[in-house]
Amino acid sequence: MNALAHRRFLKMNGLGNQITVLDLRGSKHVVTAGEARAIAAEPRARFDQLMVLHDPRLAGTDAYIRIYNTDGSEAGACGNGTRCVAWAMTADAAMGDAAKTRLILQTRAGLLPALRESEDVFTVDMGEPRLAWDEIPLAEPFADTSRFELQIGPIDNPTLHTPCAVNMGNPHAVFFVEDPYAYNLEQIGPLLENHPIFPDRANIELAAVKAPDRIVMRVWERGAGITQACGSGACAVLVAAVRRELSARKAVVSLPGGDLTIEWRESDGHVLMTGPATFEWEDTLDPALFETAA
């Protein structure tokens, strides 16, 4: 029988960003791309991101998290998913400390400290943005990644052009526009995600700065498509706006699913994300899901 059969999962969301949390601590099993796709195909377990908890790899951390997109690819970070994991771990008395409010989670992108601010609100330290062309990465050198050469549409009248590139655990390309809802993101999202300039593909954000402390955005997530919210994307948008001198270092970022408060802290360069995590239901994985999963 597949190691995931009958495993308990939590269905959650972060501002409508659909998150499934699967706890594999105590097990050596690593979810395959095929297994992730099989879980995503199950209506009750369907996710934008699957957050899989493993035993800690580093002393002083609480868990190692693997993150999967709907297509089975792995992501380096997921801000909304991290808040959901923090909800699950700080609410679970089986952790041995029902009052625990601070966690240090590890992903392949690094350490993510998380703090439970209230019953459903969490702050995650998303770390420092990476801004060099080879850290994002881009396929060719750009001295200034806050404005790099990329456009879509007619060369003399492009639909979108000159984005800002930021890596917040995942590659992001942020286009500043008047109205993020005036574009067919379903059509242009996959074209930009898979553009040759992004060797690891990229998340695509359309953002409008409405005031120094308020930004409106939409997102096409790499490996998942259009989602209601993206925590790392909101962080990337705030960083991009500051780099372009369009906003303050702290702002409310409004996504289709709701608002996140993002701060790019000047003291240490870390980006803090504050927002809710919402529990929906708990269930177990049907063994039949994995009969053909590779």
Q: Which residues are tagged catalytic?
A: 78, 230
| Interatomic CA distance for residues 240 and 202, integer angstroms | 15
Half-sphere exposure in the Cβ direction for 75 (13 Å, CA): 33
Other C-beta atoms closer than 10 Å to the C-beta of 68 total: 28
Q: In terms of residues, how long is the chain?
A: 294
| Interatomic CA distance for residues 89 and 102, integer angstroms | 10
- 3-state SS string for 145-204: CCCCCCEECCCCCCCEECCEEEECCCEEEEEECCCHHHCCHHHHHHHHHCCCCCCCCCEE
| Interatomic CA distance for residues 182 and 36, integer angstroms | 33
> What is the DSSP pairing of strand 102-107 with strand 63-69?
parallel
Q: Which residues contact 193 (CB under 8 A, 6 or more apart)?
A: 201, 202, 203, 204, 220, 222
